[in-house]
Amino acid sequence: MSREEKPITISDVAEALGVSKTTVSRAISGKGRLSAATRQRVRDYIEEHHYMPNVVARGLAQSKTFNICVVMPGTYALVDLPFFQKAVMGVLEIAGNAGYDILLCVCGENDVSALKRIIQNRKVDGVILLRTYVKDEQIEFLSEEKIPFAVIGSTDYPDVLQVDYDHETACRELTGRMLERGISRIALLGGSGTHVVNQKRRRGFEKAFEEANLAPDPELVFMDLEEKDAVSRAAKEAVRKGAQCIFCMDDAICGHVLAGLRTQGKYVPEDIRVASFYNSSALENSIPSITSLCFDAGELGKAAGRLLLGRLEGEEVLETLECPQLAYEIRMSESTR
């Protein structure tokens, strides 16, 4: 079936079989009554002649596209993180199984124009956001437009399908373990505070201190570190101020911290300990191995995919906020010995 000899259509099938298009359509979709005999006849023919319904035409008739939009964050540094790549693959797997495809979109925190265009062009049936912000224009827009969507990450906006790990608890636990060992001069290096996940991580960090009747040294908390140099400087500062340990909010920051420390001739864990609130292949080759929190980005992608598809296909009742508490893992390694 090459492009020249035009693809066979539902009319061709109907004609060949001496039935109506209606019948063929029903045999395919399974909707409406149909004698088992004719249904089988149609299916056999279709099978034999490799007929494939034109999804676009079906979409027009049903106001569906069988596409879902996945929105990646626009910040250059972020896009590089294996996290998003893995999450997309997770969504892809679930969507593919249900006959949906993935339309890619990149949005900045303050520029949702790409998403708007896709929605207004009606190219997709639903959307999955890979990252949430405290004030989130994407969510506001999608809610306003009443587009079905799900987010990876948490949000306080009402009625949104969301899936996330419990970052706050995870960070609290990891921090708690260090405090138990009497290590309390801990520096915290993080990215943008406008990301919900970074806020949760920070909150978990602080909670662990509260529970131990301690308080983190504000001088050791460095947020909004958006690029490599800023991270290196913060790491240097932390060392200078006598930090015993550096907590990194994600894998990218951790990579930069490790590089910065090596430049300074500081050894991990002898001179200073290091841990990361998110592990990834970016840290995989590190020696020493890095103490870190392990989350499965692929699982998040799958969960978000299932949530959205349920909303798309299932009963409209599924209006509830959902948040499967996925199980994270704390991996204690050489870097905090």
Partner DNA sequence: CTGAAAGCGCTTACAG
Using left for φ > 0, alpha for ψ between -120 and 50, and beta otherwise, residue 229 falls in alpha
CA-wise closest residue to 78 among 155, 147, 153, 171: 153
CA-wise closest residue to 116 among 63, 61, 67, 71: 71
Per-residue mark of binding to DNA, 42-61 (x: CB under 7 A):
-----------xx--xx-xx
Q: Is 146 in the site for DNA (CB under 7 A)?
A: no
Q: Is 311 in the site for DNA (CB under 7 A)?
A: no
Q: Which does 262 bind (CB under 5 to 8 A by kind): DNA, its own copies, none?
A: its own copies
CA-wise closest residue to 220 among 171, 187, 254: 187
Q: How far is the CB of 325 from its own copies (least distance, A)?
A: 27
User: What does the alpha-carbon distance between residue 159 and residue 156 come to, in Å, rounded to a whole number?
Assistant: 9
DSSP state string for 222-243? E----SHHHHHHHHHHHHHTT-
Binding site for its own copies (CB under 8 A): 1-4, 7, 52, 54-57, 59-60, 65-67, 70, 79-80, 82, 85, 88-89, 92, 96, 101-106, 114, 118, 120-123, 144-147, 228, 255-256, 258-259, 262-263, 281-282, 284-287
Q: How far is the CB of 33 from its own copies (least distance, A)?
A: 27
Identify any residues that bridge with 12 across adjacent strands, giving them in sequence order.
Answer: none
Q: How far is the CB of 25 from DNA (least distance, A)?
A: 3
DSSP strand pairing (329-331 vs 291-294):
antiparallel
Nearer to its own copies, 142 or 187 (CB): 142
Q: Which does 25 bind (CB under 5 to 8 A by kind): DNA, its own copies, none?
A: DNA
Q: Is 281 in the site for DNA (CB under 7 A)?
A: no
User: What does the alpha-carbon distance between residue 68 and residue 84 come to, in Å, rounded to a whole number?
Assistant: 16
Nearer to its own copies, 19 or 142 (CB): 142
Site for DNA in 2-41 (CB under 7 A): 6-7, 9-11, 18-23, 25-26, 28-29, 31-35, 37-39
Q: CA 120, 123, 124, 128: dihedral to nearest 10 degrees?
A: -70
Nearer to its own copies, 82 or 324 (CB): 82
Q: Are 49 and 13 contacting, i.e. CB atoms less than 8 angstroms apart?
A: yes
Q: Residue 176, CB half-sphere, CA atoms under 13 Å: how many?
A: 14
Q: How far is the CB of 237 from its own copies (least distance, A)?
A: 19
- The footprint of DNA (CB under 7 A) covers 6-7, 9-11, 18-23, 25-26, 28-29, 31-35, 37-39, 53-54, 57-58, 60-63
